[in-house]
Homo-oligomer: A and B are copies of this chain.
Amino acid sequence: MTPSPQLATPALEELERRFRAGDKSALARLITLIENQDPRVGQCMERLYPSARRGHVVGITGPPGAGKSTLINQLIQTMRGGDQRVAVLAIDPSSPFSGGALLGDRVRMTDHYRDEGVFIRSLATRGAPGGLSLATREVVRLLQSFNFDRILIETAGVGQTELAIMDVAETTVVVMVPESGDAIQVMKAGLLEIADIFVVNKADREGAARLRTELLAEAALGPARPWQPPVLLTQANHGLGLEPLLEEIDRHRDFLRHATSCDFNERCAEEFSAAVRATSTRHVTQLLAGARARGLLDQVRVGRLNPYAAARLLLQAVANEESPNDWHA
């Protein structure tokens, strides 16, 4: 599980300078550094961390086949109509945004790719458990620092990692289609708890009204919340229902502005924890690629050490030798 070899990147300062000047290719290179768990990312994040005003982070999730990508495609268009700068981060490996469309419903993204106000990127990491949600958070902060007004994150929201990724979103839109399921399955997947807005897409199909009723009933069952998730009907492939969706997204953002300081404190703690964990994870990845780790692994292979004894020896050795500047450097 060695990490990718470090890319031959320009000096970090040069990349950051170009990033600040609005160069999208520098942004893309920095995202690649994050994907590769490059140990220099920490210092880079420290310098580029977004200040007060930040773009709105909207998560779009739901089962495969719900039409998330088509919906996002239309949302981009609607937002661009309002002259907002939009970034899309696709985490779903089967998304057409990630180049992984399997069902032939590939969205025509060409126009968006040419649009200066739009940035589309897929994200993948490997090796470190938990690395994907940590990386997502960092990329979102970079995109905010780059002054996008909206950052859309697309996941197939069906597992633990996907739910963790949605923690990064301020507003979470859960997309379903009439046949994708009864409300109980939704509840099981944990989507009910995270949804700020429900979308029933492909609403011209049978069962859309019933699903809407069920979702409203389920949402009403839970504890009273200051924000009750609305359920919207869309037909993204016909461009229908996008304006009302954007209005609800805005309404939720305005709602968040009045969130309590308790929420703010919790967000700060999450952000700090994530920064510490991400920095530490990169450090460990680098360690595991080093000569000392290789030597210890050889001893595990021949049965002279068990993996936990080897782990202790590796981490002790590092704690012993490390100069404080090795963190982030």
Stretch from A81-89, A108-116, A208-216, A296-304 contacting the other chain: A296-304
A307 touching B102, Cβ below 8 Å: no
With an 8 A cutoff between CB atoms, is A161 at the interface? yes
Q: Please encode chain A, from 191 to 210, with 1 for each CB lying within 8 Å of some chain B CB and 0 for all others.
A: 00000000000000000000
Number of interface residues of A (CB under 8 A): 79
Which residues 276-323 of A have a CB within 8 angstroms of B?
276-281, 283-284, 287-288, 293, 296-297, 300-301, 306-312, 314-317, 319-320, 322-323
Least CB distance, A139 to chain B, in whole angstroms: 14
Q: Please encode chain A, from 125 to 141, with 1 for each CB lying within 8 Å of some chain B CB and 0 for all others.
A: 00111111110000000
Contacts of A280 in B (CB 8 A): 280-281, 284, 315
Q: How many copies of this chain does the complex contain?
A: 2
Which single member of B130, B271, B311, B314 contacts A129 (CB below 8 Å)?
Answer: B130
A307 touching B274, Cβ below 8 Å: yes
8 cross-chain pairs, A with B, having the tightest CB-CB distances, nearest first: A159-B159, A130-B130, A129-B130, A160-B161, A46-B308, A275-B311, A316-B324, A275-B307
